[in-house]
Structure 1
Amino acid sequence: MPRLAIHRLSMAHPGDLSALEALIAAGGVQARDIRAVIGKTEGNGGLNDFTRGYFTQTLMALLAARTGEAAGALATRIPCVLSGGTEGALSPHYLVFSASAEAAPGRRGLAIGTAFSPPTPAREIGRVPQITAVADAVRMAMAQAGIARPEDVALVQVKAPAAQAPDPAARSGDAKVLMALSRAAAAFGVGVALGDIPAGAATEAALLSDFSLYSNRASISSGVEVTCNEVLVFGRAPGWAEGIVAGVAPMIDLLDLAGVQAAFAKAPGEVLGVIAKGEPDRTGAIRGHRHTMLGDTDLDPQRHLRGALGAVVAAVAGDGRVFVSGGAEHQGPPGGGLVCVFARAG
């Protein structure tokens, strides 16, 4: 059975994969064993952030050269979840997840499973078909990893599609709203699959409306560089080698240092990677005091969010290579979010 490995690699620019090339050349990882990549690029994180697609294209070309498999085929089975925007102390980097064969009878270690939904056209973004497709993909990824129980899932990371062209049948003509709806629908899909959100409550009307519905184990990004929902599931499963742990904790708000520390406390050891989701509080205040992120006409609110949350999390991590993604709709408490820490135990 497999052993999960995680490598956190820095990049000099969005197309720089020299660190991964060197790692493969040194035998630190086999290209054929790479299961997924999660990373932060230095774009603006918006609709026109093409650093994400640039990185993905370069990654698939590299893996195609090392495996002999067509880049297009690799892109249909290796999720590449990228979030643009490395404001403030954040540093461009990427996490490489690989799984190599190793017998581990009777043991339960951290497992990874992946799945892709069918293509999601603009007219289905933020609608029941997307919620259902994500829920189905989560279950498929769990089955692939051998994770039998929803309570054994630590985190589900999804890259959801955004509309690349206007569609009169879409829920909104505003592309940024569609990005938010896509994240929200994917979060509902994760919540339904894991039992965090009742299936009957996961309605289109509740998206971006009923924020009492959320999953503390869903981390969703959206972008125009993908056309379907790419799903990664992390959790404990029999047969997977021990050694790597995942600590996940919710954040009640942007200043929830205790929440960040709780995630690190659940994953003692050498930190291998950190994922954080957050959002500017829609009430316009944090702990009773006004914030101006939502009213700033110079900077997008998500850029404020990434800079602020990145500083909080990176200060605890002692490392700016933190995956901080804005847009935490239905991903953790309203106005808050979640933090996941991967570490090598002991």
Structure 2
Amino acid sequence: YATAMLAACLGRHLQLPPHEVEKRVAFVMSGGTEGVLSPHHTVFARRPAIDAHRPAGKRLTLGIAFTRDFLPEEIGRHAQITETAGAVKRAMRDAGIASIDDLHFVQVKCPLLTPAKIASARSRGCAPVTTDTYESMGYSRGASALGIALATEEVPSSMLVDESVLNDWSLS
């Protein structure tokens, strides 16, 4: 609901329908402690620099990329790792970052399993990584973190398998 309302509000100002806003804006909502203790909106925006006024040297930049939607059985597994790594690389290109040495922060939005998604996977004969919706958040965050590590060459792809997520602490 919150995402839909923000997309509608921004859409009025951007003169775009809400579904187009959602394609351009990465909405990251937190139901965790940081949201409860101090409800707020943090907005990161960018404007292209005009060449005549572009300062020399490195500056803060922002890149945005999205993964494809995951099947429920892919959440917390290798597919999420590799898709996240690809999204990080696309976001770097979008930001004009050529070297991983210049990448200092990656913000991700991680999907979780819901009872409906678990039922969907099972109806197709597939097993999700867990049937606990709360635990699925950990698996999703773990797979996303490993995807970032893969994109930044901190972990080789040969070490990343489904069982790595939340199990192989040598990767941390």
The TM-score, its normalising length taken from structure 1, stands at: 0.44
Aligned partner of 1:55 in structure 2 is 2
Matched residue type, 1:119: D
On the 8 A contact 1:77/1:115 being kept in 2, the answer is: no
CA distance in 2, matches of 1:68, 1:177: 39
On the 8 A contact 1:111/1:145 being kept in 2, the answer is: yes
Helix, strand or coil at the partner of 1:136: helix
5+ long unaligned stretches in structure 2: none
Say whether residues 1:207 and 2:165 are aligned partners: yes
Say whether residues 1:115 and 2:62 are aligned partners: no
* Structure 1 pair 75–87 and aligned structure 2 pair: CA distance change class (3 A): closer
Residue 135 of structure 1: CA displacement? 0.4
Matched residue type, 1:63: L
Helix, strand or coil at the partner of 2:9: helix
User: What's the Cα RMSD here?
Assistant: 1.8
Aligned partner of 1:69 in structure 2 is 16
Superposition pairs of residues 231-310 of structure 1, within 5 angstroms: none
Say whether residues 1:180 and 2:138 are aligned partners: yes
CA distance in 1, matches of 2:130, 2:36: 34
Residue 89 of structure 1: CA displacement? 9.0
Aligned partner of 2:147 in structure 1 is 189
Aligned partner of 1:98 in structure 2 is 45
Residue 77 of structure 1: CA displacement? 2.2
What per-residue deviation string (whole Å, max 9, x for no partner) do you get for residues 34-56 of structure 1?
xxxxxxxxxxxxxxxxxxxx321
* Structure 1 pair 57–88 and aligned structure 2 pair: CA distance change class (3 A): closer
Q: After superposing the two structures, state which structure 1 stretch, 198-207 or 133-142, moved more.
A: 198-207
Judging by fraction of residues, say which structure has more strand.
1
Residue 85 of structure 1: CA displacement? 3.4
Aligned length: 161
Say whether residues 1:135 and 2:135 are aligned partners: no
Say whether residues 1:84 and 2:20 are aligned partners: no
Residue 187 of structure 1: CA displacement? 0.6
Helix, strand or coil at the partner of 1:126: coil
CA distance in 1, matches of 2:33, 2:87: 29
5+ long unaligned stretches in structure 1: 1-53, 215-346
What per-residue deviation string (whole Å, max 9, x for no partner) do you get for residues 169-207 of structure 1?
212222222221111111110000001222111221111
What per-residue deviation string (whole Å, max 9, x for no partner) do you get for residues 254-284 of structure 1?
xxxxxxxxxxxxxxxxxxxxxxxxxxxxxxx
Judging by fraction of residues, say which structure has more helix.
2
CA distance in 2, matches of 1:87, 1:178: 20
CA distance in 1, matches of 2:167, 2:99: 29
CA distance in 1, matches of 2:36, 2:129: 36
Identity of aligned residues (%): 37
CA distance in 2, matches of 1:140, 1:95: 23
Matched residue type, 1:73: E
* Structure 1 pair 86–146 and aligned structure 2 pair: CA distance change class (3 A): same
Residue 57 of structure 1: CA displacement? 1.5
CA distance in 1, matches of 2:35, 2:106: 26
CA distance in 1, matches of 2:139, 2:43: 28
The TM-score, its normalising length taken from structure 2, stands at: 0.86
